[in-house]
Structure 1
Amino acid sequence: MHIRTPEQFPYRVVREDLWIPTPTGEHLYARVWRPVTEEPVPVLLEYLPYRLSDWTAPRDAQRHPWYAGHGYASVRVDVRGHGNAEGLPGDEYDERELADGEAVIAWLAAQPWSSGGVGMFGISWGGFNSLQLAARAPEALKAIVTVCSSDDRYDNDVHYMGGSVLAVDMHAWASTMLAFASRPPDPAQVGDAWREMWLRRLEAIDPFIHTWLDHQTRDDYWRHGSACENYAAVDAAVLAVGGWHDPYRDTVLRLVEHLPGASGAPVRGLIGPWSHQYPDRGLPPGPAIGFLQETLRWWDRWLKNEDTGVMDEPLLRSWISESHPPATVYEQLEGRWVGDREWPSPAVTMTPYELPGSGPFVVRSPQHTGVDAGRFFPFGNEADLPPDQREEDGRSVCFDSAVLDGRVEVLGRPRVRLRLTSQVPRGQVVARVCDVAPDGSSTLVTRGVLNLSARHGRDRVVEWEPGATEDVGFELNGIGHAFPAGHRIRIALSSAYWPWIWPQPGSEAGWVLDPSHSALELPVRNPAADEGAPAIRFGEPEQAEPLGVRYPDAEGGTQRPERRVVRDVAAGRWRLEVDPRYGGTRIYPDGLEFTENALETYVIDEGDPLSARAVSEWEVGLRRRDLGWHARLRTRSELRADETDFIAVNEVTCWDGETEVFSRAWERRIRRTAG
């Protein structure tokens, strides 16, 4: 990592905080880094609810000053109702957020220091709304860089997967956002109005989980903000970036496939070995790349009209990982970069692998199958990735290829075709592809899920006729991976995957598989396609100087385990405890002390799908000793279900110093329609 000091940039940089008006009269809090120059410059925007004055401040300091030092006004804006922005919090990506975003873009384009051209970038939420705003085509928005984001809010986000409720992240993220939305503004920025602003926000909060479970199929709620509904609407140049260890990586594959033909918008895709992080941050798994330099080429081409060669790059640049033993973290992965100038690529052939054995096979997995699934959102922590899959394989029905006599490279989305018989109307199928080494160790390569009631489309519920036999098919998440000679390719099938997938009532019965009419199809890439092609290279990672935040939890303190599985043998009960480790306690250079403590717990009895229960608990504190200010909050969220309903219980309590200023509890029963 090369850290550039202010003296090493082409431009001297100045920073200011300001307020941007919205059409409804509220003002959004913004931080602007600008190059010192008499000439107007293009503007880059990152637009998030995650609090620029504290939570994202360390990450912001790495990139916004860097862009400013290279001749751009780089702007970070809080979404209304979050951080120090005025107004009330709403649902994610709601109409008000996007309308505000359009107004911010227009305001930035009209400033005297702006050349009128705006680019937008972001990771996760910021990547989502960058893509969504590009689909609304505001005049000044010329280009975006969308990182670890999705074009499909229903089937490739934190809510549902294959039509099934994502227990692990629908609940956990709704609980996280409940805590995040409950944080107060900072009196150092908003003055004495902070408490009134805070209480108004708290009164307006409704837990996201209510809305998300009210919409269990792909309906108009999920179509809003999903660029996949109308790729032709996207007008800006799109650089789509993902990582093979991020759950949103399939969006990159869809964008490079559909945007050129649908909207004609210039597009390039980049998928590396990374987790849910910017690719320059150096967090596992690596290798990291000079991502800021790569994006600068994109901005210079589309905002300064310079020929930087970005459109001479392959349509899709992908990392293909070499086979690696199972581990929960990899500092660096071995592999290579490949380029494809079309997608789908003529170098990739869908190759069937028939399932050996005559069957039929009964697949009736214990309900705790999935405790070794790893984190849905890997962030580069030590326990993020799935451990050795042999225990999970033992809870599944597995089919192995013959020992490979040569290398097999896959790039893209595998697919399974299965002939199933079910005696119950509800259930799910989980398919995992594993790389099995000669010593028997099993490394998870990719996976996919199908809610059986969604087999005819995610927009409808079609229950299975008990006793009927049907052929079903579904895609797995995309991957770039090389299976070496001497290894075997394993397809593991299970009827449960807790806590990723919320179990269906009656799903303990499982289903019957006919392997003679089933297959795994792998997207096998011909390595000869790279012969004569220029090598794909990136610069070393660069960033601006770090902010200088202290992290006392990491300075020798004792941390609880990041992921812990507890088994009650006599009761047949399994409990997974997860510390999400978003940052813990932080002390900022301006004196702000930010404390954060969270724990997620997932419990299930191995024979009872109705025993599933998810609990998330948060404590957050903010203190400024020089102002005598100390605000605290505590939230608790629980989700469980019976045969007919989900039961969601949420609680928020807030204190100003030692005085309780707000307390509220919600309990909602929500009909199980598809979930």
Structure 2
Amino acid sequence: MSSRNTRDPQIIQRDGYVEWDNIWIPLADGRQLSARVWLPECADENKGTLTSVPAIFEYLPYRKRDGTAPRDESTYPVFARAGYAGVRVDICGTGESDGVFDEEYSPRELSDGVEVINWIAAQIWCNGNLGMMGISWGGFNGLQIAAMRPEPLKAVISIGSTTDRYNCDIHYKNGCQLNSHLSWSGVMQCYAYRAPDPLLVGERWRDMWLERLEGSKLILDEWLNHQRFDDFWKQGSIGQNYNDIEIPCLVISGWADAYKNAPPDAAANLPGVAKAINGPWVHKYPHFAYPHPRADFHKEALRWWDRWLKDEENGAEDLPDYRAYISENVRPSIWREFEQGRWVKEQQWPSTNISDQKWFLNADYHLSREAGTARELSICSPEDTGTQCGEVFSLKPDSETPGDQRLDDAGSLVFETETLSEALEILGRAKLSLNVSIDAPLGNLAVRLIDVHPDGVSHRVSFGVLNLAHRDGNASPEKMIPDQSEEITIVLDEAGYRFLPGHRIRVSISTAYWPLIMPSPYHVTARILFGKDAVLTLPVRNVSTSDNKDEIDMPRPDNLDPLPHYKQISPPSVDRWVRKGLSSNETQYNVIEDSGETEIPEHGLRHRYLSSGNWTINTQTPEGASGRSRWTCWMSRGDEWSIRLETEVRIILKADCFEISGDMKAFDDENQIFKRTFEKAIRRDHM
């Protein structure tokens, strides 16, 4: 521990475990990272006797002191009582850790993580065996650090993560720029540069905060400077060499999450023991995620840790390669509490129980098993087609999930089956092959696979988008030759879904999907040849469900309210709306969210976040489309300490460039101590 930090950890005796509220982990270059630790009583050296135990390491920029405290407190005590040390570490420059945040999954972040693993393994309370766990950022870097093969790391549980940072994260998707590119840069512009807690670092908190602020950059700048799949995105994308990961990996996600592709991808490609789970959930841990049914994540995790960190013969390696929730009869709603369906298993993945089934998009707008007469149809979608798209990844089962697709289908080409006489069940990635031309060198296509209920309500089951310049890959895009037809294939996201008798299957195609993807520079008309050259391939499950042999039991958590309840000083709120200017042809998509002010009882820290996002577009032209992400974060403790950080990130889409700008303002009490403005134009690269 360093003398420059204020105090030794508070050692808190809990029911069946010991907690250290903060320790300092030294790095070779003199920086220190801040960690919160939960220890089994047997591993507490202050008890007189000590048994070394395995450790679970989680590594994030989201602040252990306040940001992830509720979910940490729902899980690490469970692990500690089961004989594991839990070590939750803040990445460099975040929370109370030294330094300045640099970039997501940077080489420094990953090498620091390896140092931390080796440091934990050397502690008297650790037996040298570690697992790494996390959702989203922590799920990403868990897999990435596993690929670096630190010797003490024996297993990983990765939730809501990816194997491909370019195509399956919040930045780009098949060459299309996602709106989450802007909104997440707004999040991190505020989250990454907040102040440390003076209760832990003492009077140096202000100098540490100013160091962070002075070292800040416009995070969106870096991401927009890499519009192709180049070395920037390949770094940390484990799909570039799956063989780098040799340890067992359990990969989990949900159908309402952006990261649904990673579990089956990992199960199919990792060379060692790899197991996959996809539930119905949003981007949350399975034991408190929506929609129900939830899964007992603690039980699942402990089986994994017991097998690979304690060498217990419990059959974890014999679990099915892929366990998936097959949803059915899902209706868009303002709050999806429960999703109808069942859990199934695929013992091996890829599975021989799944076969390709071809459907033809015919010029009479039917989706049929037989190809009709070839005929060309055209589509030029209004630029605001897509307002029912929902978020790239949903954190709540409300309007963040896709709405009724009939509104977006009004600006799309729509093909539909007859009413189904028997159920059709899919598990995997549908794909659509088309013969297409556009009247411009650049353009996008969006494809949605939809379940149409008997009353017409339409639920988006899966979707895919393609920047046509990226039709042959993301590394070296090539513009289209206007009015020249080419064969293209759009691969949709993973889905597990059962289309019921009495329902219909719909495929919708549009040249816009705003605001989920940013528009191309042109208001494009696409011409598509329908008939035998327009083929939808569905991954149909061939296992009979009449005797339920493919069904499995996924235990649900006993406690359906596992998160601690902190004192709520002011209530949270959220609103989302679309405003269409009938005389201006301008559409605005808006969201505003207030976390409310919360006080953490044990140390009195209060925090509140207020965010707003706005996207604006003209329905007839993409020129001048814009977006804005604004965040304000407050932190305080009684009357003795109060800070505020305000950030805003903006983008305007020009024909040849992205104009980006941003502001940061920091306040100590009500005194402004820092201000910075960013402005830059970045050339559009085949986008």
Query: TM range, normalised to the smaller chain?
Result: over 0.9
Instruction: Count matched residues.
Output: 656
The alignment partner of 2:185 has SS state of helix
Taking the TM superposition and a 5 Å limit, the aligned residue runs for 1:217-228 are 217-228=228-239
Taking the TM superposition and a 5 Å limit, the aligned residue runs for 1:40-439 are 40-166=52-178, 168-259=179-270, 264-281=271-288, 283-357=289-363, 358-439=374-455
Taking structure 1 as reference, are residues 138 and 658 closer, same or farther at Cα in structure 2, changes over 3 Å only? same
1:487 paired residue number: 503
Deviating above 6 A after TM superposition, structure 1's stretches of 4 or more consecutive aligned residues are 6-9
CA contact (8 A) 2:574 2:593 kept: no
The structural deviation recorded for 1:540 is 2.9
Partner of residue 40 from structure 2, selected from 35, 47, 52? 35
1:3 paired residue number: none
Taking structure 1 as reference, are residues 492 and 534 closer, same or farther at Cα in structure 2, changes over 3 Å only? closer
Partners of 1:257 and 1:541 in 2: how far apart? 28
Deviations 1:347-400 (A, max 9, x none): 111111101224311110000011110121211243221111111111100011
CA contact (8 A) 1:14 1:36 kept: no
2:368 paired residue number: none
Q: One-letter code of the match for 1:280?
A: H
Partners of 1:386 and 1:547 in 2: how far apart? 30
Q: One-letter code of the match for 1:27?
A: Q
The structural deviation recorded for 1:548 is 3.7
Taking the TM superposition and a 5 Å limit, the aligned residue runs for 1:644-659 are 644-659=656-671
**Deviates further, 606-615 or 111-120:** 606-615
Taking structure 1 as reference, are residues 445 and 553 closer, same or farther at Cα in structure 2, changes over 3 Å only? farther
Bigger relative contact order, structure 1 or 2, given CA contacts below 8 A and separation 6+? 1
Partners of 1:523 and 1:310 in 2: how far apart? 27
Taking structure 1 as reference, are residues 534 and 566 closer, same or farther at Cα in structure 2, changes over 3 Å only? closer
Taking structure 1 as reference, are residues 640 and 41 closer, same or farther at Cα in structure 2, changes over 3 Å only? same
Is 1:464 the counterpart of 2:459 in the alignment? Answer: no
The structural deviation recorded for 1:114 is 0.5
Partners of 2:444 and 2:606 in 1: how far apart? 45
Q: One-letter code of the match for 1:659?
A: N
**Deviates further, 602-611 or 213-222:** 602-611
Q: One-letter code of the match for 2:212?
A: R
Partners of 1:665 and 1:436 in 2: how far apart? 48
Partners of 2:418 and 2:132 in 1: how far apart? 48
Q: One-letter code of the match for 1:567?
A: K
RMSD: 1.7
CA contact (8 A) 1:83 1:184 kept: yes
The structural deviation recorded for 1:307 is 1.3
Q: One-letter code of the match for 1:214?
A: N
The alignment partner of 1:175 has SS state of helix
CA contact (8 A) 1:338 1:530 kept: no
Taking structure 1 as reference, are residues 525 and 328 closer, same or farther at Cα in structure 2, changes over 3 Å only? farther
CA contact (8 A) 2:591 2:614 kept: yes
Deviations 1:155-198 (A, max 9, x none): 100000111111x2000001110011221111011100000000
CA contact (8 A) 2:131 2:309 kept: yes
Segments of 5+ residues of structure 1 without an aligned counterpart are: 1-5
Partners of 1:224 and 1:50 in 2: how far apart? 22
Q: One-letter code of the match for 1:173?
A: W
Partners of 1:184 and 1:315 in 2: how far apart? 43
Taking structure 1 as reference, are residues 545 and 463 closer, same or farther at Cα in structure 2, changes over 3 Å only? closer
Q: One-letter code of the match for 1:614?
A: G
**Deviates further, 141-150 or 602-611:** 602-611
Partners of 1:635 and 1:352 in 2: how far apart? 49
Partners of 2:302 and 2:222 in 1: how far apart? 39
The structural deviation recorded for 1:334 is 1.1
Q: One-letter code of the match for 1:297?
A: R
1:599 paired residue number: 612
Partners of 2:330 and 2:612 in 1: how far apart? 31
Partners of 2:13 and 2:424 in 1: how far apart? 49
Q: One-letter code of the match for 1:391?
A: L
Partners of 1:625 and 1:440 in 2: how far apart? 54
The structural deviation recorded for 1:533 is 4.1
Identity across the alignment (%)? 37
Partner of residue 23 from structure 1, selected from 19, 28, 46? 28
The structural deviation recorded for 1:550 is 2.2
2:641 paired residue number: 629
Deviations 1:483-540 (A, max 9, x none): 011211100000001111111111x132101112111111000132895747522333
* TM-score (structure 1 length as normaliser): 0.95
Is 1:519 the counterpart of 2:530 in the alignment? Answer: no
Partners of 1:540 and 1:248 in 2: how far apart? 22
Deviations 1:567-588 (A, max 9, x none): 111111111111356x332111
**Deviates further, 329-338 or 170-179:** 329-338
Is 1:619 the counterpart of 2:625 in the alignment? Answer: no
CA contact (8 A) 2:134 2:157 kept: yes
1:505 paired residue number: 521
Is 1:567 the counterpart of 2:583 in the alignment? Answer: no
CA contact (8 A) 2:333 2:398 kept: no
2:9 paired residue number: none
Partners of 2:324 and 2:396 in 1: how far apart? 20
Deviations 1:51-100 (A, max 9, x none): 00011111111111111111000110000000100111110000110000
Partners of 1:122 and 1:181 in 2: how far apart? 18
CA contact (8 A) 1:324 1:443 kept: yes
Partners of 1:93 and 1:468 in 2: how far apart? 41
The alignment partner of 1:176 has SS state of helix
2:46 paired residue number: none
Partners of 1:403 and 1:530 in 2: how far apart? 21
Partners of 2:637 and 2:19 in 1: how far apart? 25
